[in-house]
Structure formats: C-alpha cells, structure tokens
Chain A
C-alpha cells in the first residue's frame, strides 16, 4: 500500500451495496475521488444519493464491497476493526448532523474524549481542551452538558472535539442540517477556519449552498456515482 503522491484521500472504484436480490440498494457504484491535503471538498447530492455512505467508507465506519480507499496513504478497507478504530482515533475526525455528543459528559469532557482515547497526559489534555473551547467560543460553557446548550453550541462542541485529536482528515456529514441558517453559517465559517488553521483535509456532505461556496471544491453525487463538479455559489 503506497500513498498517492499529493492525495490525502484517494478513492478508487468503490462499490457498496446494502441488501441483496431485487431489494438490494447500490449506494456506491464505482466511485473515484482524490482529495488533496488541506483541501475542503463538499459532497453535494440528494438524500439517498450515497454521500453518507461515501463518508463512512472513507472514515472507516463502513467497508466497501469493492475498490480501495486510501487515507493518508493507509488502505482503510484492509484494516481490522481495531486498526480502523486506531485510524479514527489518530487521523480521522467526524462531525455529525446529530452532533454525536455524549449527553452525560460536560462540554469540556466531550472535547477531551479523543485525547483520553490516546491517553494523553492530563495537563496536556486540559490545556488543549481549554484552547479549543476558546477557539469555538464556548469557554464559559465548559461545564455545561449538551442538553444545556443550544444546537449551534452543541455543534461547536462537536467541532472542537473533532479537532482535539489533531486529525489529518475531517469528515462532516450535514453539519448544519439541524441548525438555523444563522447558526449554520457560523458553524460553516468555523469549519472553514479551523481547516485552514489546522491544515487538515475536510470532506463535507452538505446541501447548504453557503457551505458549498466555502468549500475548495464541490463534487456532486448522483445514484452512487460522482458526476463531476457541483455548481458553487
């Protein structure tokens, strides 16, 4: 397995089918995609077009039936479950439409989970969490639990948590899907900002034209295939 020169993510001829027989759903049909380091790529398409499946395959949350997925030069599909977990812990971070926060932990504790998974020193973890809370503007809310925060605040916590482990790749699935337009804009700006500031690569599935406009590149997904660049703002 060798990294494609210049590509942070390289997807080749990836197929993914759910179910079998007449009721089988072909979510991905021979997808090819290259994402350069530091690039923010928006995946655009209707619901059920295969965006989330592609993100899951790239992020190691799902396995393709066929084809290869290289993330930072590592063949994700060839990894065992535990190796995929390590990949997610060390190199890939996720932001979900539903935020994916743990309701029993405070905002600061949620942000610190990735560093805890890497067993980072306590002092280092606390410094980084503090810095990230400042970054996303939630320092005063550090000890509040998710259900005490607004949707935008929760998503900002999720973004801070995604950055905590200094990942190489950020995978975001409809990060503004449950936010009002104003809050969504702020979140998108935040993502754009941290991607640039941290020098990470980002793959974002979205319907939001503002987010598409903020992306370096937008790719349209139709019926499990990439059909070229999407129109941007």
Chain B
C-alpha cells in the first residue's frame, strides 16, 4: 500500500491531469442530457404558448335540423351547451385532461347580414350564447338580459356598448338580420351592457361581441359584430335559424405549464385519435368534429427536439472519444514513467494479472475521484437525476492504465526472436499485415459511417440517434490521422535530407529526433481532438451566420410590413417610413406566392415579386444580398415595354424561354430579360419561397389592365375602374437603424403586420434548443482545445527522458544551452503541428460534409442548409499546441540549467 502511494506521489501530475480530464468530461456528459431535457420541456411549452393561431382543442357540433321549437323550455337548450361541455371535459382521455383548461362553450349562429341606420353599407352579425362555467358577467347600461321570444317572434339579443354604438341602436330597438337564403330574422335589442371583465376567457370565443371588427379592403370594408344571447333567448335563435343554423363549439385551452417533452408524444397521438373519431368526446348533435393544432405543433417541436438530441449526441460522442484518447495517452505516459519499476516487479516474480490489478486499483481511485468531482459539477450546473453517458469514459479511464502497465511489464519478458532470418522476416510481415489490416478496417469503417451519415442523416425523430453514425466524425478523424501519420515520415524524410546538407548541428538533431520519437497514439489523439475543435467551432459559427442569413431570407430587410390583403394605401406607409429617422431605403411591392407558370418545363409555380425595380434594388444593395445590375435592366426593359410581353427577371433555368404567368383572371406572357439576383429565399413562415420571378409593378399593372380591356372588348362587358386592384402592394420593406421604430408607427394605418429582422434573430437565438446546442458546441470546442494542450504535454513528457539524454550529449559535445531549446522545439513541433493542422483541416472538411446530415437548418431557421462558415479562429488549435510546445521546451530548458551534465551519461 505504501509502495503504491509512493508510486502515485511520484507521478502526481499525470494523475491530477487524469482527474481533471475525467471530471470535466463527466460533468459535461452528465449535465448536458439533463439540460437538454429541461430545454426540451421549455421548447414544448414555448411552442404551444407562441403558437398562432392558438392550439386549443375545439369540439363542435350542430344542433341538428328539425328539432328546434321556440316553445321548448330554455333549460333543454341550455343543457345542450352547459352540460355537454361538462360531459366532454370528463370524457376526454386521461392524458389530455391535466393539460387542458376549463372549456369555453358557445352556441353561435351562422353569419347573418344586417344593416342599421349607422351601418348602411351592412355588416355581419353573429348571435352567440357564451358559457364558461356560467354565463359571462355583465353590467347593464340600459335595458335587461334577453328573454324568451316575443309575440312577433323576434330573437332577443343584448349588445355591448361598443357594438350598439357602431350599429346605432339601443335597448328596445329592433332591426332585421338576413340569413344567406335572404330569410329575415327579426331581432330585438333588450339591453346594452359592459363586460365586468373584458379579459375573461369567456369572451375569447367571440371577441366581436365586445369589439366590432372590420375586415376587407379599405374601399369596401365589412364590419363584423356579435350579439349576446342568454339561455332564455337561445331557443328562439335556434328556431329562427332553422334548419341547422346554430353551432355549438367547446374550446379547451391548453395549459402550456402542464406540458412536458416526455408526455408530448402521447398527447399528439391522443389528439390525432380524437380528430379521427370525434364521437369519442361524447359531443351531442350531428356534424361533430374535433380540431386542434396541438398535435401538429407538438409533432413539429418534437422533431426539433429530436434533431437537437441527435446533434448533441454527435457532439458528446466526439467529446467522449476525445477524452478516451486523452486517457489512453495518459495511461501510456504512466506506463512509460514506470517501465523500470514494472520490469523490476516482473523480474521479482510479480504476475501480469497482479500488475494489472494494482494499476486498475490506482486508476479506479483516480478516475473515481474525477468522476465524483464531475458529477458534483454537473449537479451544480444542472440539478437533477444523474444521466449515464459518461460511464464509457470512466471505463476507459479505469481499464487503460492496467492494460498499458501489463503490456509494458510483459515486454520485459525474454522476447522470443526467431534465430532464423526467414522466420524473422515472416514475423515482421505478419506484424505489417496485422497493422495494415487494422488501419484498412478503420478506413473502411470511417468511410462507411460517413457515407451512411450523409445519406441517412443523424437526425432521427423516431428514436435516439444512431451511435455508430454519431461516431462518424471521430472515425473519419481517426482514419485521417492514420493516413497523416503515414505521411509524417515522408515529410520528415524531406526535412532530414535538407538538414543533412546543412552545416549546422541543430537542424539535424531536431529532425532526426522528431522522426524517431513520434508516437502514433498521441498523434491520432491530437488529430481527433483538434478535428473536434475545428468542427464544433465551425459548426457554431456556421449556425450563427446561418441564423443571420435566415433573418435576411425571411424578413428581406431590417423590417417588413405585410398586409393580409393587398392594400393601395401601402405606398403611403412606405412614404411615411421613408421620411422616418434612421431609415436608409424603402421599397414597396406585391409578393404573390405560388403563381401558376405555363409554357415551360420543370417549373409550374413561382413566387412573383412585383416591385419598383430601382428602389427595391437600392434597398437590396444595403443588405447582404448586395446590389445587382439586373434591376436596372428590368427597369429599362419595363420602360420600353408597353402592352407587349412583360419584362421579367427569371430563374436561370427559364432564361431563353417564353413562360406565361397566371395573374388573377388573366394570363400574362413574360419576356425574360435577365436572371433573378440573390433575393430573400423564404416566406414569412420559414418555408422556401421557391423559384422567383421579378417584374416591374407598374408594367404588370399596365399589362394586366390592357389584357383586361382587350378581353372586355372581346366579350362586350364593361370594365369598372382604371387601376386594376390585382396589382396593389401587400409588402413594404425598409432598411436602416430606425426602420423598425418607424414601421411600428406607420403600420397601424393599414393594420399591417410588422416583422423586424432583429426580433426574428433574437427569437431564433433565444430559442432554448438552438441556444443550448450552440452553447454545447462552444463548450466542447473549448474543452477539446484544452485536451489538445493536455495531449501535447503528456506526449512531450513521454519523450522527455530521451530528449534530455540526447540534448545532454549534444551539450557535452559543445551545443550551447540556448540552442538546446531550439533543438527541443524542432523535435516536438513538426509532428504536433502536422497533427493539429491536419486535425483542423479535417474539421473544416467535415463541417461541409455534416451540415446537411446534422440538419443544422433546424438551428438556423433556414429552409435550406446554411453555407459553411470557417472563422479564422478554427486554426487557433495549431497556435495553441505550438504555444504549448514552446512553453514545454522553455520549462525543460529551465530544468536543464540545473542538470549536472557529468551525471547524465553515467551508467545507472
């Protein structure tokens, strides 16, 4: 025991390094799965919270035709809403009940049209009975609650104060509503109210009851209002709207806080089952249906979570392999440092199993200590249940030292070298064949893993990532390392030839030592970890740059204002925006997705950008898409064109063709005048925009107008208006530091939706999954950079005794002390720099190969794979290991100053 302690103390620093490496890796591999689990739960909740429209579970059914009778008591009808809501809630599958809130029920009429003195152009009326445990609480400003039907059969209805003002009616007034078949429904306003609590969920079923909504183009708006039925007046409404004019809807809001990732798969299945079999909800009446976007949203977010898991698995697998290699290098160093003691032990009769057991006991203590520290760190960082991916690393840490110690001790046994030359050569060939076989097997395995990864991708939404595929980057790095290792002697051979022709001693000593002392294990380990540094670093940079590119692709500018329907007032908005402070460029246009294209092969639908070419070109010139002369070409061509084919910028594949475009009810012949330049490639929802055709908006309007006029002449019909509404814009883009603020001020004029690039980017970067993965990539890159340094230190320590003797000999012969540092650096640097540079190169190549299989687009929010970005600092590992070598040789040089040369070459 005491001997073991003494031995451990003598090798304290390699053991401490082992503890640190194990602690860091165990800490990360223990904490990350928990962190991702937390992030997955957060992602599920965020997706449900942010879903627009909401993901409520909606159960609806009609009352049915022919069963309504105005004389039926209100209780019977009310039971059809209130009790049905209770019955459905209790009939929902147990897994769904905890995540759904109390239902909001309504019984609402079909669309009724009405006209009142203050709304002569007409509007749409919904009559609704609302219930959320009880009828909504209101304060009566005039009149009272609706009751049963009057003698004239009028439906009694209450109106909110806002709706009453818009309609210009009050308590006691009557008006007529029309059904779609022009049947008149008399309505009596019994009271005007204010909601006690306008934010009460019950009003969300029909918000138009409290606040009228205006829809449609500005020149033909439609006002949508709601009126409140009571339990007493609902039967009359049912009777008035026969047949089948009232629909019951039960809306169950989803409680995001009750969701988690683990249960989300089951929930999605339950929802889908309900949608397929609405009768399971026990909802009464015909036409029962269950709709919800919850299953879709959950499926989508589960896909993203699975992708993040898979991506993280690749990164963690890399870290695990890298750590394993570091531990192997450390075990090799320990065995080398103890080789004399091990030989002595063996000579004294110690058995190999006994030697292995002793080394394993020490390793268990050391690695166990590291693992314990790592687990504590992991728990401090992310508290929770211990995860177990780190066990493999610990196993390598425990098993490697006894393996190396046993091999070292076994080497001290008398070697059985065949005396016959033929047998010696045969043995040599057998060793060579064995080595080549192992290397070839690794190469084949790496190639197969990479091909499989490229074809299948590592992302799996149906289960955990394939670990064999996840190890592909490391296998490729290891295989590349072996190839590089075979190239090192060739490189050093060339350097040796130059050194031999030199007059000086230092180059020869350095290169000769470099060629003789390199070891394959630290070389491979260094290549693998530097590959991981470059790979993780470049992946993180690619993802960040991809997010930025994604923001440009989606928004197309610093801010975009979109309207649901084309709006002739948008140029005014653009004008207001352009006058805003900090707005550099503004463009207005019409974006029409999936417009039909004819007369060409391969493309049947395009996105049409109808813009003013020059302002839009100037705007794009201020974005990463850059300026393009194509817009000038389009503008010139559009100016020359009158009513002929419409000049257009088209995809490269359409150059030289004469496609026709369907625009509204006319077909427009296009004249390609150039290729579409780089443009925003995504729609607002992140889906690919597809092939795009750019036309001049004014020219399009002229052509459409001419075509419409020609057709009118042919058919003899009369046209109304001079400005074809089909070419009204629906989008305004703006760039500049003040664009977002100006858009917020200008957009309400057209009820436009404002999307800023900064907000899109912030949302993407704040995404718990994407943010977590980027943080993991950065952390693993930093760890592997540290491990690269550790490998260099361990490898240098392993070759230090030989280097010390060699330099001492050279010093005895007259080599000056300062030259010994150069010789030592020259000895260590070549293979280490080659390994690090090779690793960085492999990492860079792997990034390009892995962006698609890793589905990095899910992190960047792009519809396609992001372009690879190789930041300058991916080469940092090369500088780092070179700096480590310089520190090592400086430290060794300092130690050599205290060395007594006379003792170095004595017999020991």
- Asked whether B741 is an interface residue with its Cβ less than 8 Å from the other chain, the reply is no
A161 cross-chain contacts in B, Cβ below 8 A: 813
Give complex CA distance A98, B903 in Å: 12
What size tier do the contact residues of chain B reach? 20 to 34
Q: Establish whether residues B907 and A122, one from each chain, have CB atoms under 8 Å apart when the complex forms.
A: no
Q: Establish whether residues B809 and A116, one from each chain, have CB atoms under 8 Å apart when the complex forms.
A: no
- Asked whether B778 is an interface residue with its Cβ less than 8 Å from the other chain, the reply is no
User: Among A81, A90, A118, which residue has its beta carbon within 8 angstroms of that of B817?
Assistant: A81
Question: A169-189 vs B: 1/0 string, CB under 8 Å?
Answer: 000000001100000000000
Nearest residue (CB) in B for A108 is B500
A62 cross-chain contacts in B, Cβ below 8 A: 900-902
Minimum CB–CB distance for A115 against chain B, Å: 9
Q: Is the interface of B mostly helix, strand, loop or mixed?
A: helix
The segment from B417-425, B505-513, B537-545 found at the interface with A is B505-513
- Asked whether A121 is an interface residue with its Cβ less than 8 Å from the other chain, the reply is yes
User: Among A100, A109, A114, which residue has its beta carbon within 8 angstroms of that of B905?
Assistant: A100
A82-B817, A117-B505 known; A109 vs B516 contact (CB < 8 Å): no
Q: Establish whether residues B505 and A98, one from each chain, have CB atoms under 8 Å apart when the complex forms.
A: no
Minimum CB–CB distance for A211 against chain B, Å: 17
Q: Establish whether residues A104 and B516, one from each chain, have CB atoms under 8 Å apart when the complex forms.
A: yes
Question: A104-120 vs B: 1/0 string, CB under 8 Å?
Answer: 11000100011011111
Q: Establish whether residues A88 and B813, one from each chain, have CB atoms under 8 Å apart when the complex forms.
A: yes
A56-B901, A90-B814 known; A102 vs B512 contact (CB < 8 Å): yes
Q: Establish whether residues A177 and B504, one from each chain, have CB atoms under 8 Å apart when the complex forms.
A: no
Give complex CA distance A109, B502 in Å: 12
A105-B508, A113-B505 known; A52 vs B906 contact (CB < 8 Å): yes
Minimum CB–CB distance for A89 against chain B, Å: 2
A104 cross-chain contacts in B, Cβ below 8 A: 512-513, 515-517, 806
Question: A19-56 vs B: 1/0 string, CB under 8 Å?
Answer: 00000000000000000000000000000000011011
Q: Establish whether residues A116 and B806, one from each chain, have CB atoms under 8 Å apart when the complex forms.
A: no
- Asked whether B810 is an interface residue with its Cβ less than 8 Å from the other chain, the reply is yes
- Asked whether B501 is an interface residue with its Cβ less than 8 Å from the other chain, the reply is yes
A114 cross-chain contacts in B, Cβ below 8 A: 813-814
Q: Establish whether residues B815 and A117, one from each chain, have CB atoms under 8 Å apart when the complex forms.
A: yes
Nearest residue (CB) in A for B814 is A89
- Asked whether B816 is an interface residue with its Cβ less than 8 Å from the other chain, the reply is yes
- Asked whether B503 is an interface residue with its Cβ less than 8 Å from the other chain, the reply is yes
Q: Establish whether residues B814 and A122, one from each chain, have CB atoms under 8 Å apart when the complex forms.
A: no
- Asked whether B812 is an interface residue with its Cβ less than 8 Å from the other chain, the reply is yes
Minimum CB–CB distance for B508 against chain A, Å: 7
B500 cross-chain contacts in A, Cβ below 8 A: 109
A104-B513, A122-B503 known; A117 vs B907 contact (CB < 8 Å): no
Q: Establish whether residues B814 and A56, one from each chain, have CB atoms under 8 Å apart when the complex forms.
A: no
- Asked whether A61 is an interface residue with its Cβ less than 8 Å from the other chain, the reply is yes
A52-B906, A100-B809 known; A85 vs B816 contact (CB < 8 Å): yes
Nearest residue (CB) in B for A91 is B814
What size tier do the contact residues of chain A reach? 35 or more
User: Among A56, A86, A116, A119, which residue has its beta carbon within 8 angstroms of that of B902?
Assistant: A56
Q: Establish whether residues B907 and A98, one from each chain, have CB atoms under 8 Å apart when the complex forms.
A: yes
Question: B362-394 vs A: 1/0 string, CB under 8 Å?
Answer: 000000000000000000000000000000000
Give complex CA distance A61, B818 in Å: 16
Give complex CA distance A96, B813 in Å: 12
Nearest residue (CB) in A for B811 is A85
Q: Establish whether residues B814 and A85, one from each chain, have CB atoms under 8 Å apart when the complex forms.
A: yes
Q: Establish whether residues B810 and A61, one from each chain, have CB atoms under 8 Å apart when the complex forms.
A: no
Residue with the greatest number of chain A CB neighbours at <10 A, chosen from B516, B816, B900: B816
Q: Establish whether residues B504 and A113, one from each chain, have CB atoms under 8 Å apart when the complex forms.
A: no
Give complex CA distance A29, B348 in Å: 40
Give complex CA distance A114, B504 in Å: 10
User: Among B501, B814, B906, which residue has its beta carbon within 8 angstroms of that of A117?
Assistant: B814
A6 cross-chain contacts in B, Cβ below 8 A: none
Give complex CA distance A85, B810 in Å: 10
B888-908 interface with A by 8 A CB criterion:
897, 900-902, 905-907
A56-B901, A104-B513, A117-B505 known; A85 vs B817 contact (CB < 8 Å): yes
Give complex CA distance A165, B815 in Å: 13
Nearest residue (CB) in A for B808 is A100
Minimum CB–CB distance for B616 against chain A, Å: 69
Nearest residue (CB) in A for B818 is A82
- Asked whether A103 is an interface residue with its Cβ less than 8 Å from the other chain, the reply is yes
Q: Establish whether residues A98 and B905, one from each chain, have CB atoms under 8 Å apart when the complex forms.
A: yes
A49-74 interface with B by 8 A CB criterion:
52-53, 55-56, 61-62
Give complex CA distance A125, B907 in Å: 31
- Asked whether A166 is an interface residue with its Cβ less than 8 Å from the other chain, the reply is no
User: Among A61, A85, A97, which residue has its beta carbon within 8 angstroms of that of B815?
Assistant: A85
A102-B512, A117-B505, A119-B504 known; A88 vs B812 contact (CB < 8 Å): yes
Question: B514-539 vs A: 1/0 string, CB under 8 Å?
Answer: 01110000000000000000000000
A120 cross-chain contacts in B, Cβ below 8 A: 503
Give complex CA distance A161, B516 in Å: 21
A56-B902, A61-B902, A62-B900 known; A102 vs B806 contact (CB < 8 Å): yes
A98-B907, A122-B503 known; A113 vs B813 contact (CB < 8 Å): yes
Minimum CB–CB distance for A95 against chain B, Å: 10
Give complex CA distance A225, B540 in Å: 72
Residue with the greatest number of chain B CB neighbours at <10 A, chosen from A62, A90, A103, A117: A117
Minimum CB–CB distance for A47 against chain B, Å: 10
User: Among A52, A61, A122, which residue has its beta carbon within 8 angstroms of that of B501?
Assistant: A122
A101 cross-chain contacts in B, Cβ below 8 A: 809
Question: B657-677 vs A: 1/0 string, CB under 8 Å?
Answer: 000000000000000000000
Question: B468-504 vs A: 1/0 string, CB under 8 Å?
Answer: 0000000000000000000000000000000011111
B811 cross-chain contacts in A, Cβ below 8 A: 85
Give complex CA distance A55, B903 in Å: 12
Nearest residue (CB) in B for A82 is B816
Nearest residue (CB) in A for B827 is A104
Give complex CA distance A125, B500 in Å: 11
Q: Establish whether residues A102 and B809, one from each chain, have CB atoms under 8 Å apart when the complex forms.
A: yes
B703-744 interface with A by 8 A CB criterion:
none
Q: Establish whether residues B814 and A109, one from each chain, have CB atoms under 8 Å apart when the complex forms.
A: no
A116 cross-chain contacts in B, Cβ below 8 A: 502-505, 508
A121 cross-chain contacts in B, Cβ below 8 A: 503
Give complex CA distance A116, B815 in Å: 10
B815 cross-chain contacts in A, Cβ below 8 A: 85, 89, 117
Give complex CA distance A170, B817 in Å: 22
Give complex CA distance A160, B899 in Å: 27
B907 cross-chain contacts in A, Cβ below 8 A: 97-98, 177-178
Give complex CA distance A82, B811 in Å: 10
A98 cross-chain contacts in B, Cβ below 8 A: 905-907
Give complex CA distance A113, B902 in Å: 19
Question: B731-767 vs A: 1/0 string, CB under 8 Å?
Answer: 0000000000000000000000000000000000000
B901 cross-chain contacts in A, Cβ below 8 A: 56, 61-62
Residue with the greatest number of chain A CB neighbours at <10 A, chosen from B502, B516, B813: B813
Give complex CA distance A81, B906 in Å: 20
A90 cross-chain contacts in B, Cβ below 8 A: 814
A100 cross-chain contacts in B, Cβ below 8 A: 809, 812, 905
A178 cross-chain contacts in B, Cβ below 8 A: 907
Q: Establish whether residues A94 and B812, one from each chain, have CB atoms under 8 Å apart when the complex forms.
A: yes
12 chain-A/chain-B pairs, Cβ below 8 angstroms? A53-B902, A62-B901, A82-B816, A88-B814, A89-B815, A100-B809, A104-B806, A117-B815, A120-B503, A121-B503, A122-B503, A177-B907
Instruction: With A52-B902, A52-B906, A116-B503 given, name 20 new contacts (CB 8 A).
Output: A56-B901, A61-B812, A61-B901, A62-B901, A62-B902, A81-B817, A85-B814, A86-B814, A90-B814, A94-B812, A94-B813, A96-B906, A113-B508, A113-B813, A116-B502, A116-B505, A117-B505, A117-B814, A118-B814, A161-B813
Q: Which residues of B are in contact with A by a Cβ distance under 8 Å?
A: 500-505, 508-509, 512-513, 515-517, 806, 809-818, 897, 900-902, 905-907
A-B residue pairs, 10 tightest by C-beta: A89-B814, A56-B902, A116-B505, A104-B512, A104-B516, A61-B902, A61-B901, A88-B814, A117-B814, A119-B503
